[in-house]
Structure 1
Amino acid sequence: MTTFRDALARAEAPLVGLWNASGSAVAAEIMAGSGADLLLVDGEHGPISISEMLPILQAAAAYPVTTIVRVPWNDPVIIKQVLDLGAENVLVPMVSTADDARAAVRAARYPGGDGEREGARGIGSALARSSRWGRIPGYVGAADDHVSVTVQIETADGVANAAEIAAVDGVDAVFIGPADLAGSMGLPGRASDSAVVAAVEATIDAVRSVGKPVGVNTFAEADADRCITRGAAFVFVAADVTLMARGSEAAVARLKRAERETDAY
């Protein structure tokens, strides 16, 4: 399978992503077949356990989409479990310092021979889907080729440290979360505030300055257009739950409005 790192390297245009936040494998398959480049499985805010993640990954695997799993926290145990489950691309939230980024990379890497590289991922590949239960020859030694790490900047401290975070060896991309960033800046619920927009753009510039790809969560069309123009390599534009919520509301609203107008007469 192609990692997110590989997909970014070969992309000729910004990649477009969708979220699976519902925890539904059926929804994941629908989203994966939409033509989107990326599918983000949200293990942070979505009601998705480790065992529930497996059918989501299996459903998406039938489609030409790159699947990324957001873990709930920068926790080496959870990162190990998600990777062993067969996720090849992990997104680690709330990374605010270079040390945070190094911890995420360390959790995703096996130890290297003779100090070749630092890694803390437990070696249980023969028991895990990640190596297809030992069917991928030399998986442990070549695991870095099968795994990518993206870190999420979503605090004011993260913005200040963006270039240093992006420069960490093993960080393949940086993802910006405007909603939590707004909260960190004392502007909860105001991700479109000019100060938050400026912070997002400053982060895009800082990450690009060290040669790493950067993406943004942009559910509003204008935000997506602006971030792509600024140099974002990928954007996430909608989630399964929001599409269902807004779509169901729109499907009902017309007739409900007509009923109210009829009653008024």
Structure 2
Amino acid sequence: MPNKLKQIWASGGAAINGWLAIPNGFSAEVLAQCGWDSVTVDLQHGVQDYLSMVTCFQAIQVHPVMPMVRLPWNEPGIIGKVLDAGAYGVICPMVNTAEQARAFVAAALYPPAGTRSNGPIRAGIYGVTTGYQKTANVETLRIPMIETGEAVSNLEAILDVEGVDAVYIGPSDLGFSLGLVPVLDREEKQILDIYEKVVRETAKRGLAAGVHCGTAAYAKRAIGMGFKLVTIGSDSVFIGAGSRQAIAEVRG
């Protein structure tokens, strides 16, 4: 199927992304019906593994939501496996240099553009050449994370790597790497200046900038800044926040 986020970006819009930390098909199914443009299974900091990711994909595939994955790390084996399982977008953490970005992109692309092995066991038909192999390089997104001072210093070189479609800011790690408290919705001028640079440099190249937000209000603000992909919280965050609010209201 055509990549929904690419369509949104081509029309000048911004995509709203959900986040799955809970390894459960039912919670994924519930989230998929809420109106997100895409939903990302978090293999890095979520309590997800490969099989729970597949279960989440199976739960959401009947809904008009694009499945994505945040990888645990920049490693070719897992990059190929999440794509084989049906991911339409791959977010890669801790990409700090152009060399690391090139390695990520190569692992996510079929030859001759890259080195991805053929075996799309869910995305296509295993061992058989189908339409998937013909379109996968175009329809899947490769999104390095910008979350350290080193990555910011190398931003232009990372963005110039052929095959990078967008970058995704991890505000907690970005702040942490600069000696700040690791939180999501940042207000420091130093960080906001970095956001402005990322938005400007991606737009200059026809790419998209993404950012993880803690609240809907900040996500709306981020879209106003020029971000084209905003994530709001996660399934586990929503459960905790909703529960605390309900309990506080009753006890108050």
For 2:171 and 2:50, the matched residues in 1 are separated by 27
Q: Quote the RMSD (CA, aligned, Å).
A: 1.9
Confirm or deny that 1:107 pairs with 2:102. no
Indicate the SS of the match to 1:224: helix
Change (3 A) 1:124 1:14: closer
For 2:56 and 2:171, the matched residues in 1 are separated by 26
For 2:34 and 2:5, the matched residues in 1 are separated by 21
C-alpha deviation, 1:230, in angstroms = 1.9
Q: C-alpha deviations, 1:26-49, integer Å up to 9, x for none?
A: 111111110111211111101111
Between Structure 1 and Structure 2, whose CA radius of gyration is higher? 1
Mapped contact 1:110–1:122 kept (Cα < 8 A):
yes
Mapped contact 2:211–2:231 kept (Cα < 8 A):
yes
Aligned residues, how many? 250
Counterpart AA for 2:206: G
> Residue 130 of structure 1 aligns with which residue?
123
For 1:212 and 1:83, the matched residues in 2 are separated by 21
Q: C-alpha deviations, 1:101-146, integer Å up to 9, x for none?
A: 111110011221xxxx3x2212234xx1121335762543443134
- TM-score, normalised to structure 2, is 0.91
C-alpha deviation, 1:12, in angstroms = 4.3
> Residue 33 of structure 2 aligns with which residue?
33
C-alpha deviation, 1:253, in angstroms = 1.3
Gap regions ≥5 residues in structure 2: none
For 2:106 and 2:150, the matched residues in 1 are separated by 21
Indicate the SS of the match to 2:233: strand
Q: C-alpha deviations, 1:40-84, integer Å up to 9, x for none?
A: 111110111111111100111111111211110010011111111
Mapped contact 1:163–1:209 kept (Cα < 8 A):
no
Confirm or deny that 1:62 pairs with 2:62. yes
Identity %: 35
Change (3 A) 1:204 1:186: same
Change (3 A) 1:238 1:136: farther
Q: C-alpha deviations, 1:203-250, integer Å up to 9, x for none?
A: 222222222111111223443233212211121122111110010011
Confirm or deny that 1:220 pairs with 2:223. no
Counterpart AA for 1:23: P
Gap regions ≥5 residues in structure 1: 258-265
Change (3 A) 1:4 1:165: farther
> Residue 19 of structure 2 aligns with which residue?
19
Mapped contact 1:180–1:188 kept (Cα < 8 A):
no
For 1:60 and 1:246, the matched residues in 2 are separated by 23
For 2:35 and 2:133, the matched residues in 1 are separated by 33
Change (3 A) 1:87 1:221: closer
- TM-score, normalised to structure 1, is 0.87
